[in-house]
Amino acid sequence: MFFNLLPAFVSVVWASRISAAVVSGKASSFAGSTSTFQFPPTDVTATASLINSFFPDASEVDFAGPTPTGDEAESVATAPALSPVKGYFPLIRPNTSDKKGKAFDVVDSWANLSPMQSVKSFGLDNTTEQIPEGCKINQVFLLHRHGARYPTSGSSPATFAANVHSAAGNGTFIATGPLEFLNTWTYRLGAEILTPFGREQLFNMGVGFRVKYGDLLKNFTGLPVWRTTSEGEPVVPNQAILDLSTLNRAHADIRAGLHFAAGFFGVQSYQSSYYQVIGIEQDGFNNTLAPYDQCPNANNNISSLGGEATEAWTNVYLVDAQKRLIPFLPGFNLTINDVAAMQTLCPYETVALGYSAFCDLFTEEEWKGFAYGIDLDFWYGNGPGNPAVSAQGIGWVQELVSRLTQTQITTFDSTVNGTLVSSNITFPLYQPIYVDATHDTVISAILPAMNFTSLAAGGPLPLDHIPKNHTYKVREISPFASQLVGQVLSCPASDTPTHIRWLLNDGVLPQSGIKGCGDDPDGLCELETFIAGMKQRIKEVDFVFDCFANYTFSLANDTITNGQFPK
């Protein structure tokens, strides 16, 4: 296939620190003005010789005290119970305009903008992260999303701020009542990169993963090779090795990989404890962790189905909020889109600044509507209801089968990067721990590609109401710091893997949609059966047609639940 001829650029580098370039500036006196800050200050750099004269290396000080390390942890196999991820310190829990207090947590309604918290169940009873009794963990796969970040450049929060600032500059802006804070409000959000809270999420994820699966490090014969994507980084096609310290900007994915590694290995040793493979995220480069760039139908009218669905729902659930808020902004044309942007500012400001006054403007029902709007966006744009989605996720499934069977990929008919997977350096096949960092929309594409049908059991989502049997919830699928974990097990315990099971944000996924796996109460499937089921999915998903064919598709006739064009 011609897909394997696309240029491949992958950087294999020692994990290193990256600094982000942020332009500092002074806030305007007008409401909605942009306020930024940079640290360290401009033109101030650390001088190694000066620093070392005051803070020498520990080896030069002596009196180091005892230094032996302990044994590796494996709490997923040894602990009687594991602590779920619960809470979001140090963020301030917001309230609602109807003052629900502790009875309703607004943070749970932020969908993909929610901090990851453990999911109790995806329909299986009495299942936990701990491996079933009598089994042994032999290998683990982690596919994770980056932590909390600033909004995408030019998105609705920044647009709303610009509109407010323009009105304030004209001298016609006066906010009253619950919106009075807008008179002195400044826009303090950056773009794309991780927030401090997002860095905390990834560091904590790395620590937690080490505690749960660290014992598997004993099975490495070399250093781990983990992967991420390069969005926002300069592309240097002829350069084989890229020194991360030379970059002036880092997108959330690369930072996610580094902060995870710092938590997993420790800040003193992570730079020399693993290799970071960075796949280029840009048109013309195959990358299973950013597959949409090589799928035309992920960038045209087919991809806009999710936005259309969300827009239709927004004009249903936010009408009352618009009417309620208009009187407090006389002279300002407050549109439905403005109100939606104000609601979106709540999670983005909270995960960046710790608190947002926008949160308290909306009722419990309006926050439930906000979450459902994002569910619609993902279902029809990046999930089971979009005909080009499984095609985007199937490349990672091919790589998964290659890793599970220790067999190199030789057929290139998807977004698999032929140059990357043909090298044991960039794509090793014998690792006990695999870690891939990606985006929320990629995780949501891989799940239907693997045919985890329980997530789509409620069927297509209506555009005018929230259904009672609502099973597709983005907060459970792709929140900030989302985790899809594959546990390869031997049952009974041995050195030969026999079974596999999958956890999504700590909740065990039923594998009933995978041929032959059935409804095991522990979510287990025999490994050979699972591999056969994935090979069948690879055959079923028509990447060329679903991504490249010139077909029409609309919400009016959208009844699919598997992310594939109906054949």
Characterize 43-61 residue by residue with b for buried, 16 or more Cβ atoms within 10 angstroms of its Cβ, and e for exposed. eeeeeeeeeeeeeeeeeee
Q: How far apart (Å, rounded) are the C-alpha atoms in residues 10 and 229?
A: 9
Is residue 42 a part of any domain in this protein? no
- Packed helices 389-405 and 527-540: angle between N→C axes, nearest 10 degrees: 140
Beta-carbon count within 10 A of 309 CB: 25
Residue with tokens 């509507």: 369
337-365 pLDDT, tens per residue? 999 999 999 999 999 999 999 999 999 99
Is residue 110 a part of any domain in this protein? no
Q: Are 106 and 94 in contact (CB under 8 A)?
A: yes
Beta-carbon count within 10 A of 207 CB: 16
DSSP 31-46: TT-B----SSPTT---
**Distance from the Cα of residue 53 to its chain's centroid:** 42
Per the document, the length of the chain is 567
pLDDT at 236: 36
* CATH classification of the domain holding 549: 3.40.50.1240
pLDDT at 46: 59
pLDDT at 2: 35
DSSP 286-332: --TTSGGGG-GGGSSTTTTHHHHHHHHHHHHHSHHHHHHHGGGSTTS
- Enumerate residues 6+ apart whose C-beta is below 8 A from 59: none
Q: Are 452 and 502 in contact (CB under 8 A)?
A: yes
Is residue 497 a part of any domain in this protein? yes
Is residue 174 a part of any domain in this protein? yes
**From residue 318, how far is each of 48, 328, 342, 367 by CA, in Å?**
55, 16, 11, 10
Is residue 92 a part of any domain in this protein? no
Of 298, 297, 303, 261, nearest to 278 by C-alpha is 261
- Packed helices 389-405 and 440-450: angle between N→C axes, nearest 10 degrees: 70
Q: How far apart (Å, rounded) are the C-alpha atoms in residues 173 and 28?
A: 15
pLDDT at 10: 40
Backbone angles phi, psi at 181, to 5 degrees: -60, -20
495-548 pLDDT, tens per residue? 999 999 999 999 999 999 999 999 999 999 999 999 999 999 999 999 999 999
Q: 552: burial class by Cβ within 10 Å (0-12, 13-18, 19+)?
A: exposed
pLDDT at 325: 98
Q: Are 427 and 420 in contact (CB under 8 A)?
A: yes
Beta-carbon count within 10 A of 277 CB: 23
pLDDT at 303: 93
Characterize 324-358 residue by residue with b for buried, 16 or more Cβ atoms within 10 angstroms of its Cβ, and e for exposed. bbbebbeebebeebbbbbbbbbbbbbbbbeeebbb
- Enumerate residues 6+ apart whose C-beta is below 8 A from 1: 411, 412, 413, 544
Q: Is the dihedral of CA 377, 383, 388, 393 positive or negative?
A: positive
Is residue 423 a part of any domain in this protein? yes
Is residue 60 a part of any domain in this protein? no
Domain containing residue 238: 2-30+32-37+116-557
Q: How far apart (Å, rounded) are the C-alpha atoms in residues 122 and 448?
A: 15
Of 505, 503, 451, nearest to 476 by C-alpha is 505
pLDDT at 8: 39
Q: How far apart (Å, rounded) are the C-alpha atoms in residues 222 and 219?
A: 9
> Structure pTM?
0.90
pLDDT at 64: 59
pLDDT at 232: 44
Q: What is the mean pLDDT of each run of 10 residues along the chain (567 residues)?
A: 38 34 39 78 62 51 65 92 92 88 91 96 86 96 96 93 91 91 95 94 97 97 93 38 32 72 92 92 94 96 96 98 97 95 98 97 97 98 98 98 97 95 95 97 98 95 95 97 98 97 97 95 97 98 97 93 94
Is residue 259 a part of any domain in this protein? yes
Domain count, the chain: 1
pLDDT at 450: 98
